[in-house]
With several copies, the nearest count.
Chain A
Amino acid sequence: MTMATVDNQHSLSGEKNRKATKSLPEAARWISVAGRMAIPLMMLVLLITAWSLYVWAFDVPHYILPSPMRVAVALYTDWPILAPALLVTLKITFTALTIALVGGVALAVLMAQSRIAERALYPYAVILQVTPIVAIAPLILIYAPSTQAALLICAWIVAFFPILSNTVQGLKSTDHNLLNLFELYGASRWQTLVYLKMPNALPYFLAGLKIAGGLALIAAVVAEFAAGSAGAGSGLAFRLLESQFRLNIPRLFAALFLLSLTGVAIFLTTNTISYLLLRKWHESALKREN
């Protein structure tokens, strides 16, 4: 029996994928990445086939459910219309996400630092979360300095809560022994926050971020419905409504497709960020080695 052979004469119960790709050469790593992509892609092909078949078999009229082919054509021909709209929506989305991040984390920190702040503010955060944008959009339109500002306020209201709620939970989940340690070394509140509570809240925060990423996109669309501009400078929401109004259902689906794609891209990004930040130390991202 040579030293280099892995020859486990008993097979282990439990997951086999722990026997991972760590020491494989570059080529093999690419194969494994491809394998990871294969499943979602297969799923996609399956879905599109099923959709096509359904449309074809039941002869579904294109104004109810267009075939994937028609949507693809619309996507191609309407690209000059859809692309700028997508850009506008993306801009709102990322601005909204940024302020939701900043606002959500700032509020969470405030609440985790002071019980009084928590009790005084949390109810109002909840109220903001449950207020339908459409109902207060007029007020916002009246008081916001510009349509753009109104839009961002609307989007922020939708997206900030998951970050706030998760971050608060994370900040509160700090190990008591470590808290004791910090207290012992006379750490200031600020130091305890930055060096202990925040890293500890990271997994929770990141789970919140994953939710908020998609929500910011939805928020951008909803805000545009409620307070946004129309015409040349408008985003996907306007295009969606217009397509609906004009009965241009293939274009509607093309716009939806772009939204979905954006959503998935945002999710993959947040997922990757999460992995990169946690892979060194957190169970959720670690490979089981021992």
Chain B
Amino acid sequence: LDEVKFGTNWLAQAEHGGFYQAVVDGTYEKYGLKVEIVQGGPQAANRALLMADKIDFYMNGNLLGSFSAVEQGIPLIEVAAIFQKDPQVLIAHPDQGLETFEDLAKLPTIFMGKDGYSSYFQWMKKAFEGFSDAQYKPYTFNPAPFIADEQSAQQGYVTSEPYAIETEGGFKPKLFLLADAGFETYSTTIEAKVGFVEDNKDLVQRFVDASIIGWYNYLYGDNEAANAAIKKDNPEMTDGQIAFSIKTMKEFGLVESGEALESGIGCMKAARVTAFYDQMVDAGVVKADLDVSKIYTTDFVCKGVGMDLKK
């Protein structure tokens, strides 16, 4: 068995379900891999660990990170994109007369993480009228300030925060998925060092395939054991939250939409990456003239692996 360390970008949750599934149901093992999942967190340094070769694969949030890597000359490459859509969402109170994404510009306050501020918010300011820095307030990963202030919005993962707000805050918030507003990045990509990929093509292929199979099984098969593993890693996780996440992932087509429907989970297409890059250059979020072809490879995906598991 080849030992592989895979670092996620957050604490264990249903959004990582496919990977846990592949671990617990023996898919990785079948593919000759012994995978250890290293949880992330708000300040965890899993990406730095990837760069320092302390882990082998990293779960990257969106492609902006990859653009930064190529800008800084860091040899990182995406080998699969598990989420076709970024689950990043802006959440607002109902009954505030907010109908479209642009309406968020009317709010005096948007709670955002610093990374959100320096990525999609820059895009929002460019792409829509009326967003401004004055709206920014820091999001400390606690939705209470948002709930306390009706005239505000906050960032979130469509699969997570809305659930907490609904159950604890007692109201059904309005959700504005960034992806639906035109923020067309892939998400939850599998990232590795370029050199590692070149030297271990077979291993990478096996990891990608097994992970994709894990995801099909997680979404359509018996995922109880995987959920148990998630709850073991993150004891704060509740069954309700997991069920909500899975439901939402399906509802919004996070994992399966676009190319994934034809070529299987994890599929990436050059055209979409380039289009997103141009969009971001236009918004002034990233530098122009980067060679974005370096940041991904489609060699390992879009092969229809595991599509037969879908029921």
Contacts and interface: CB of A to CB of B under 8 A. Distances in A.
Taking the complex as a whole, does A directly touch B, i.e. does some CB pair lie under 8 Å apart? yes
Interface of A: 61-64, 81, 134, 137-139, 141-142, 147, 225-233, 238-239, 241-249
Contact of A245 (B52, B71, B160): B160
B69 interface: yes
Contact of B48 (A141, A230, A239): A141
B140 A63 contact: no
B232 A134 contact: no
B118 interface: yes
Interface in B39-67: 39-45, 47-49, 51-52, 54, 65
A142 B164 contact: no
B239 interface: no
Contact of B68 (A62, A138, A232, A246): A246
B100 interface: no
Given A63-B169, A226-B138, A238-B41, A249 B12 contact: no
B219 to A, nearest CB: 23
Given A229-B138, A243-B236, A134 B11 contact: no
A70 B149 CA distance: 23
A8 B114 CA distance: 68
Interface string B66-92: 001101111000000000000000000
B39 A64 contact: no
Contacts of A246: 68, 71-72, 118, 164, 168, 236, 238, 241
Interface in B222-278: 232-236, 238, 241
Contacts of A232: 133, 232-233, 235
Q: What 6 pairs across the A-B complex have the smallest Cβ distances?
A: A138-B48, A242-B236, A138-B45, A244-B142, A247-B168, A230-B39
B117 interface: yes
Contacts of B49: 138, 141-142
Given A64-B52, A231-B136, A242-B236, A248 B72 contact: yes
B143 interface: yes
B147 interface: yes
Nearest to A80: B235
Q: Which of A61, A228, A243, A246 has the most CB of B within 10 A?
A: A246
B115 interface: yes
B69 A247 contact: yes
Contacts of A241: 11, 41-42, 114-115, 141
Interface string B26-44: 0000000000000111111
B137 interface: yes
B168 A231 contact: no
Given A63-B51, A241-B11, 5 more contacts: A61-B147, A142-B144, A245-B164, A246-B72, A247-B144
Contact of A142 (B145, B165, B168, B232): B145
28 contacts: A63-B74, A64-B52, A138-B142, A139-B144, A141-B48, A225-B42, A226-B140, A227-B44, A228-B41, A229-B136, A229-B137, A230-B39, A230-B44, A230-B114, A230-B234, A231-B12, A231-B39, A231-B133, A231-B232, A231-B233, A243-B236, A245-B65, A246-B164, A246-B238, A246-B241, A247-B65, A247-B164, A248-B236
B72 A230 contact: no
A226 B49 CA distance: 13
